[in-house]
Amino acid sequence: MTASTAIPAFPARDYAFAPWVDARNLIGGQWVDAVDPQATLDVINPRYGRAMATVTLSGAADVDAAVKAANSALPAWRALPIRERAQVMFRLRDLMRRDRDALSWLLSHENGKVFSQAAAEVDKAIECVEFGCSLPNLAAGTQLEVSRGVTCELRYEPVGIVACVTPFNFPIMVPLWTLPQALVGGNAVILKPSEQTPLSMVALGELLREAGLPDGIFNVVNGGRAAVEALCDHPGIQAFSFVGSTRVARMVYGRACATGKRALCLGGAKNHLIVVPDADPQVTIDNIVASFTGCSGQRCMAAANLVAVGNVESIIEGVKQQAAALVAGKDHGAINSAASVDRIRGYIDAAEAGGATVAVDGRRSAAPDAAGTEGYWLGATVLDHVRPDMPAAREEIFGTVLSIIRVDTLEQALEIENANPYGNASCIYTTSGEVARRVMGRVEAGMCGVNVGVPVPREPFGFGGWNDSKFGVGNITGWDGFRFFTRGRKVTTKWALQQDWNWMA
């Protein structure tokens, strides 16, 4: 095992291609090579389609090494008072603010987001760390005199070693959805980032070390399926959290639960935005376009289907015009891979062949840089007259594509929304409180917006959808996240021992 500790800072402060260090595992405070390598992959900068680093996929022996390191470090960490554990989050917040630009540029390079959207992700990640800072003030358990001289007290205890598996689309924010609660809760973490975007976790691992987190409390195991399955199966891991596609979320939820772990697995999405004629045109147009093109549509909260109720023609026209004016590479970033571009184009082609209108055609957008880059690009695309039975209306496309479905009544819109198997986000655009109230009471989604196209619940509210968008109970962020990573211990105490009272006295 070759170990290294010196990681140079990511050098780029613009979009010019920049290579960086290879992603290695962080085990017990050391960056090390995989001992059970399965394969080595390129980490591609999607703007250029060029490798900026490599990542070696780990196997079960690497997961086991991380569990051993976590086990050694855990007793001292969990013995610290929660306020002392939270100090690491205060320091991490300051370090992330110090390095905001460097982190954002690294994120932009490994994921393909434009800088402004990468910086917004880093800002949101910092907000998650701030929630971790606040936990000592929230985590006071309750205590009650349940009977004369008898008190019952609730304490939040760590679960032990926890695994967090994350997707490519938010390489720093999604890991920080869970890390603050897991770490401040007194656990040791093994994080498995997406093999497509493992570099942000190299930067975060360095910052956590600088923030004074003891070695072995935060471990990174890079990998793909083999590493994830080893995390599900390892008997030394007590909790398993996952964020990614529904297909994998469903699979790993069952696998982790089968070994007795508590599990919370968030999956994909197909978000419906309903527009009625009394909607404010400009607010609605701006919001819908930002929702479906932000982060190149590669976010689980992105608008996917615009369900147009009655005559909302001027809003539809506005959406098309604004989308057509967007410039790939400036207003939104690249798509993560060539395979994803092919998949997304396939949905557009199939919708067109099935009778939908390609009102704004992102297939024609070229790479944005005159420098002749060969990255993975697709412009904003608006499909009109999409039928609810088309794949473009039913399946997660995960790209800069909006499908417009036209209906006559709000009831028809709700039926379409309710019929989709996902349940992440849903939104209504209206100026009527009565309509908003009706829709918010009926949509099958865990995160809903009124005139808000990306209704992410901000801290301290918890992030989590319904139905096929989530397997397990509770939300992954906020207070639910802390509850997921802790166990309630009830301590019943009686000091004034009385011989003449029975056990209920």
Residues in touch with ligand NAD (CB under 6 A): 165-170, 174, 192, 194-195, 224-225, 228-229, 243-245, 248, 252, 266-269, 300, 396, 398, 424, 465, 469
Cβ(422)–Cβ(396) below 8 Å: yes
Q: How far is the CB of 411 from ligand NAD (least distance, A)?
A: 28
Tokens standing for 91? 């320091």
Could you give the 3-state DSSP secondary structure of residue 79?
Answer: helix
| Cα–Cα distance, 70 to 329 (Å, whole number) | 41
Q: With b meaning 16 or more CB within 10 Å and e meaning fewer, what string describes 88-109?
A: bbebbbebbeebeebbbbbbbb
Tell me the three-class secondary structure of 358-373, residue by residue: EEECHHHCCCCCCCCC
* Cβ distance to ligand NAD smaller for residue 99 or 480: 480
CB of 300 to ligand NAD, least distance (A): 3
- Closer residue to ligand NAD in complex, CB, 287/424: 424
DSSP secondary structure, 247-305, as one string: HHHHHHHHHHHHTT-EEEEE----EEEEE-TTS-HHHHHHHHHHHHHGGGG-STTSEEE
3-state DSSP helix/strand/coil percent for the chain, to nearest 5? Answer: 40, 25, 40
What minimum distance in Å lies between the beta carbon of 298 and ligand NAD?
A: 7
Which residue's CB is nearer to ligand NAD, number 49 or number 158? 49
> For ligand NAD, which is the closer residue by CB, 99 or 396?
396
DSSP tag of 3: E
Tell me the residue number closest to ligand NAD, measured at CB: 244
Nearer to ligand NAD, 229 or 444 (CB): 229
- Cβ at position 196, least distance to ligand NAD in Å: 7
Q: Tell me how far apart the alpha carbons of residues 359 and 21 are, in angstroms, rounded to a whole number.
A: 43
Known catalytic residues?
Answer: 300
Shortest distance in whole angstroms from residue 245 CB to ligand NAD = 3
Bridge partners of residue 385, in order along the sequence: none
Q: How far is the CB of 344 from ligand NAD (least distance, A)?
A: 13
Kindly state the helix (H) or strand (E) to which residue 342 belongs, with its residue range: helix 338-353
Q: How far apart are CA 216 and CA 208, in angstroms?
A: 11
Query: Would you say 290 or 407 has its CB closer to ligand NAD?
Result: 290
